[in-house]
Amino acid sequence: MNQNEKQSSIVVMTAGGNNPWVMINALKVHWPDLQVIQEHPESKSTLLKRRAKRLGWLTAIGQIGTMVASRLGKNIAAKRSGEILKSYGHLDAVDPSIAIHEVNSLNDTQCHALLATIRPQVILTISCRLLSRQTLAASPCPVINFHAGINPAYRGQMGGYWSLVEGDAGNFGATVHLVDAGTDTGSTLYETRLKPEKHDFISTYPLLLTAASTEIVIKAIDEGLRNAFRPIPQVGRSVLRFPPPLWTWVWNGLTKGIW
């Protein structure tokens, strides 16, 4: 067993990115031996085809259009992101001292073998693809997920955005929940709610929710290590969300001031 394959109490499974590293860096303060299994992000073409199969080509192309258009405001997003990180005292840079295991997919046998070697006590997923039943079966411990939305009404993607669009600002928040075979359908462990600033928009909502939620993730992991989870089954309206198509995003921005 080499240095990068030593046992660790915590494993974070992710596709990478600034937001997950905010969470990872916050967790390392409490669990310095944590390790990361990082999958390669799905290609835009794969994502587009899957969305088109489910939602139709027009909607799928419109959703990609929103992501492209929102990045045109990257300078605005970068400034606001810096403000968020400073306000919460977080860092979003990759920490080179943390062991990172790269795999093609978290659902590959390579990932399953890593879990068998590391033998974590708790796994956290954040910003990654849905875990297969085989991966869940290969996990030697509870798996929890950080979700930037309040379940079950805002499962899936862009939960914070949709809560504002639907006039439900009181549910602009995030959830830590147990992972099952569904999409954000596992029992809830913790929630946090907050109010975005007027200059937040679709590109900064996820970072704001991540930065504001590190403490509830820490609490959930601590409970997992002590076998002391207190899960609450999901109740109420359950809706799976996706990014808005470009025309919907523009319409909501012009008519509701929610970008």
pLDDT tens-digit profile of 100-156? 999 999 999 999 999 999 999 999 999 999 999 999 999 999 999 999 999 999 999
Question: Around Cβ 229, how many Cβ atoms within 10 Å?
Answer: 14
pLDDT tens-digit profile of 159-189? 999 999 999 999 999 999 999 999 999 999 9
What is the per-residue pLDDT for 5? 57
Q: Which secondary structure element, helix H or strand E, spans residue 161, and what is its range?
A: helix 159-165
Angle, to 10 degrees, between the axis of helix 57-70 and the axis of helix 44-55?
140
pTM for the full predicted model? 0.92
Q: What residue spans define the domains of the chain?
A: 3-256
CATH 3.40.50.170, domain 3-256, yes or no:
yes
Residue owning tokens 């949709």: 162
Cis peptide before 152 (omega within 30 of 0): yes
pLDDT tens-digit profile of 224-246? 999 999 999 999 999 999 999 99
Number of helices (H), then strands (E), in the chain: 10, 9
